[in-house]
Chains A and B, each alone.
Chain A
Amino acid sequence: MAAGAAALAMSAREAAAQSAPNSTLRTVLNRGKLIVGTGSTNAPWHFEDEKGQLTGMDITIAQILARGLFDDVTKVEFVKQEPAARIPNLTTGKVDCVIQFMTVSPARAQLVNFSRPYYIEGVALLTSAKGKYKTHKELLDAGSQAKASVLQNVDADNLVHKALPQAQVMQLDTQANAIQALDSGRADAAVIDLSTVGWLVKRNPGKYLDSGFHYETQIYSVALRQSDLDWLAFVDTTLMVNMHGHQTDLYDKAFRDFFNTEPPRRVPGFPNI
């Protein structure tokens, strides 16, 4: 009798946990915490702050999911991983989802499921406050006099020339070294991720400038194991509510803190989401 009464008095969470026997959604709810694969070496996405706490936009997205699952942003465990481990750690069940500035591509979508996008990354030109050329127009006018540093890549020359058709290209092995070239005056502009430009300008307002030209787009999403519709739908719904619905506080704060940008105003009426 007592057991029957207890079964009838199931909470909504327990009921949800029994809806799909094999879903990661049920596993996570029963476990009481979410396990997220992410990195720790790339500001402003996932990095350790001065107190040694993991923070960044990817970390905020994980906290948003934890709030959706448990009403508690702390119920999330982070598994630190290399970018190359993002898909293997997911497919071998080491993590429930991957939130690690993962660009959506059709090739990757053959191996994992992607949630709706939580950010669209771009490319921008970082300039120095002490440099000869500060804005995109000044760099353009300088023509072949302007030197631009960029992360080494098969398409790096094209990437630079889309923004500055005549500039000299200096290819370097890491994004940090591309920025170092700007610091040391060997380059007039560093061609790097838009989010990194926002982050560096916010942290060092007297040192760096955003030249004002943003281009290229790549979509960042949460990656999930395939064949788990309930889990995918849960993540999508939670992101939708936190980006467009009544719970935008965490997302908006991260947008301001990490990208130095005001989040868009949400307009009632037609659901343009």
Chain B
Amino acid sequence: MNGWWSFVVSTMPFLWQGLLMTLFIAAVVVAISLVAGVLVGICFAYGPWWARLPLRICSDILRGTPLLVVIFTSYYLLPFIGLNLQPLPAFLAAMSAFMTAHVGEITRGAIQSIAAGQTDAGKAIGLTFGQRLVYVILPQAVRRFLPPWINSVTDAVKGSSLVSLVGIVDLMLAAQQVIGRTYEPLPIYVLAAMIYFVINYSLSSLSRSLEARYAYVRD
């Protein structure tokens, strides 16, 4: 047991570097896809047809394609049109685009689920489009946006492990590297599983408390 423990401790610095990369990727993807996805969703709900059409085509293609295929397209197909991205930018671009398509749909659904009477009432008291959005529609839509969006955040953490396929060392590849050197798979896999559990359990706890916070409706 003592030997097992010192072995686990000796592997921690390697897994720690991988964990930081996993968290960095998830954070960047969540931030980009939140901003871009909300804008796309507002455009879906209110934009003119010539803005909606190209976004609709991109969104349907991205949502209808496995993430792995989007990543390989970004990494291996773009060089043929002269855009040879490094592994990390290629992965971040692919996964952010993929997540943006999903967040855009979540936003559109949340906005369109707010009854049309709310917009009419806003118009009746003379609010501009921006004021109706900020003071009437979005505060109500955010309640319906949060639960599916937090689901997509945990998807981003789990999906980040695909980055090892383009050679970036995340938590999973860091674990594989230690196994490759030591030929001791069992303790390393247990340790990596524990770390993933801690991250995702924290996220789902956070999601529960956020949902409880916003579920309260002042009538």
Q: Which chain B residues lie closer than 8 Å to A179 at the CB level?
A: 183
- A176 at the B interface (CB under 8 A): yes
Q: Provide the bound-state CA to CA distance between A43 and B183, in Å.
A: 9
Residue B57 CB within 8 A of the other chain: no
| B69-92 with Cβ < 8 A to chain A | 76, 79-80, 84, 87
B173: interface (CB < 8 Å): yes
Interface size classification for chain A:
20 to 34
Known: A41-B173, A85-B167. A48 touches B181 (CB 8 A): yes
A52: chain B residues within 8 A (beta carbon): 13-14, 17
- Is there contact, CB below 8 Å, between A174 and B180? no
**Tally of contact residues, B, Cβ under 8 A:** 26
B183 touching A176 by the CB < 8 A rule?
yes
**Contact string against B for A residues 27-43, beta-carbon threshold 8 Å, 1 for contact and 0 otherwise:** 00000000000011111
Once the chains bind, are A49 and B183 in contact (CB under 8 Å)? Answer: no
CB distance from B89 to the nearest CB of A (A): 13
In the assembled complex, the Cα of A176 lies from the Cα of B175 at a distance in Å of 13
Q: Are B185 and A80 in contact (CB under 8 A)?
A: no
Chain A residue contacts of B79, Cβ below 8 A: 92-94
**A40 in contact with B76 given A81-B167, A180-B186 (CB within 8 Å):** no
Given A80-B167, A85-B167, A93-B79, residue A48 in contact with residue B176 (CB < 8 A): no
**Cβ of A82 under 8 Å from chain B:** yes
CA distance A230 to B75 in the complex (A): 28
Q: Given A52-B14, A80-B167, A85-B167, A177 and B185 touching (CB < 8 A)?
A: yes
Chain A, Cβ-Cβ closest to B17? A52
Q: Indicate whether A41 sits within 8 Å of B177 (C-beta atoms), given known contacts A48-B14, A82-B165.
A: yes
Q: A40-B173, A79-B167 are in contact. Are A180 and B180 (CB under 8 A)?
A: no
Give complex CA distance A49, B168 in Å: 18
The smallest beta-carbon distance between B152 and chain A, in angstroms, is 26
A40-B87 CB under 8 A given contacts A49-B181, A174-B185, A176-B185: no
Q: Is the CB of A41 within 8 A of B176?
A: yes
Do residues B169 and A41 form an inter-chain contact, with CB atoms below 8 A?
no
**Which residue of chain B lies nearest to A79 when distances are taken between CB atoms in the complex?**
B167
| A220 at the binding interface (Cβ < 8 Å) | no
Digitize A70-98: 1 where CB-to-B-CB distance is under 8 Å, 0 elsewhere.
00000000011110010010001110000
| Complex: chain A residue closest to B77, CB-CB | A92
Contact B165 A40 (CB under 8 A): no
A79 to B177, CA, bound (A): 14
A92 to B72: give the CA distance in the assembly, Å.
12
Q: Which residue of B lies closest to A54 (CB)?
A: B177
Instruction: Say whether A41 contacts B179, CB under 8 Å.
Output: yes
For the complex, what is the distance from the CA of A108 to the CA of B34, rounded to whole Å? 44
Shortest Cβ gap from B27 to chain A (Å): 22
Measured CB to CB, the closest approach of chain B to A97, in angstroms, equals 15
> How far, in whole Å, are A47 and B79 apart by their CA atoms in the complex?
29
23 contacts between A and B (CB under 8 A): A40-B173, A40-B176, A42-B180, A43-B183, A47-B180, A47-B181, A48-B177, A49-B181, A79-B87, A79-B167, A80-B173, A82-B164, A85-B166, A85-B167, A92-B84, A93-B79, A93-B84, A94-B84, A174-B185, A176-B179, A176-B184, A176-B185, A180-B185
Across the A-B interface, give the 4 residue pairs with the lowest CB-CB distance, nearest first: A41-B180, A80-B167, A41-B176, A47-B180
